[in-house]
Copies of this chain bind each other. A is one copy, B any other.
Amino acid sequence: MKNPVSIATENFVKTVYQFDQKKGYDTRPGSIARELGISNAAATDMARKLARKELIEYKKYKELRLTPAGRSMALAVIRKHRLWETFLHQVFGLGMHEIHREAELLEHLTSDFLADRISHFLGHPTTDPHGDPIPDPTGELPDAPGAVLLSQAPAGLKYRVSRLSGSEKEFFDFCQARGLALGTVLRVKNQFRNPRMTEVEMEGTVLLLHAGLAQTLHVRPATGPAYDPATYVNEPQP
């Protein structure tokens, strides 16, 4: 009666969900295709198939939209992805650039039962090592209040880094070398246009970050105390 869901379907639905959220991204077939490394034709085809299964709303030449069932599937996959990333980082000590690669696979063959066990073992974390929120078993997302892209943060104010969204080793090496980590406090000195760059200052150091990089960091206004442990239950134990 209930037919199995393929890995391709899960990845597709997940990508639509994420591109729908992320500003600066759209959910047209071409964007999804580029992300998944498939042809435009394949993405259109998939969209039509998933529409038949009531996971996607598809209207020719329009952006793709998820149905409630599609959104629910996406969040379940994202939950498994982020639980695995948290686990692999904290327990096995995998590097930040390694966890995404492994989680991208494991997310698809992890039962709800096992996901709950991982969550329990980790003490029900609410964010992954990148600072991304982990959906709960019902698909609710703990929201990160006030978070913005570093590239969009108004200049002159102090912020705390709340997400590192990259997946490349080079990205994490750079962040580590420059002291950019979850919780790091910094001040945005300038937001330049043309070329778009963000100038930040942290403990004396000044960095000029190009837009591509400043878009993979999220920050929140640093109004509270210097460090709030409850907010960072996922910080890796060294």
Contact = CB atoms under 8 A, between A and B. Distances in A.
A120 B230 CA distance: 31
Interface size bucket, A side? 10 to 19
A168 B111 CA distance: 18
A109 interface: yes
A98 B113 CA distance: 10
A93 B113 CA distance: 13
A1 B121 CA distance: 40
Contacts of A113: 98, 102
A92 interface: yes
Contact of A106 (B92, B101, B106): B106
B105 A117 contact: no
A102 B111 CA distance: 7
A189 to B, nearest CB: 41
Interface string A186-212: 000000000000000000000000000
Contact of A121 (B92, B109, B117): B92
Contacts of A88: 114
A191 B63 CA distance: 70
Interface string A79-119: 00000000010011010001001100110111101100110
A10 to B, nearest CB: 12
Contact of A109 (B91, B105, B117, B118): B105
A109 B111 contact: no
Contacts of A106: 106, 109-110
A94 B111 CA distance: 13
Nearest to A101: B111
Contacts of A98: 113
A102 B105 CA distance: 15
Given A91-B121, A106-B106, A109-B109, 14 more contacts: A88-B114, A91-B91, A92-B114, A92-B117, A92-B118, A92-B121, A94-B117, A101-B111, A102-B113, A102-B114, A105-B109, A105-B110, A105-B111, A108-B109
